[in-house]
């Protein structure tokens, strides 16, 4: 199992460079590990975070965390910056993901 905790800086040039490094690392790691989980503070909205994860080709899908004290919820949706959790499909047997 491969678990990665990511925090991207808010500076756009540093964030772009680091996100490219993460994508290249995940492309190599997907052949080495069978299961992947990524916990992220991407400092970006959900669409932008999904776009970066899709580039890895690791088959990860975003989970909606519940009971997270750091979430920014607005009208039932997670806001910017906190709580992007991506799992592979065979981890998705649980109905929800708790952040502690």
Question: How would DSSP label each residue in 1-20?
Answer: -EEEEEE--SSHHHHHHHHH
Residue 89: pLDDT band with limits 50, 70, 90? low
Q: By C-alpha distance, which of 39, 35, 44 is closest to 15?
A: 44
H/E run at residue 32: helix 12-32
Q: What is the pLDDT of residue 100?
A: 42
Q: What are the sequence ranges of the domains in the chain?
A: 2-87
- Report H helices in 33-57: 46-56
Q: What is the pLDDT of residue 49?
A: 80
For the entire predicted model, the pTM comes to 0.58
pLDDT digits (tens, 9 = 90+) for 25-84: 888 887 787 777 777 777 777 788 888 888 877 778 777 665 555 555 556 665 544 557
């Amino acid at each position: 199992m491969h678990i990665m905790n990511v925090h991207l800086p808010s500076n756009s040039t540093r964030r772009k460079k680091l996100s490219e490094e993460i994508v290249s690392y995940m492309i190599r790691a997907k052949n080495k590990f069978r299961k992947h989980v990524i916990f992220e503070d991407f400092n970006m909205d959900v669409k932008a975070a999904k776009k970066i994860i899709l580039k890895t080709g690791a088959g990860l899908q975003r989970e909606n965390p519940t009971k997270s004290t750091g979430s920014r919820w607005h009208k039932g949706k997670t806001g910017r910056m906190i709580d992007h959790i991506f799992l592979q499909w065979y981890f998705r047997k649980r109905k929800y993901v708790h952040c502690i």
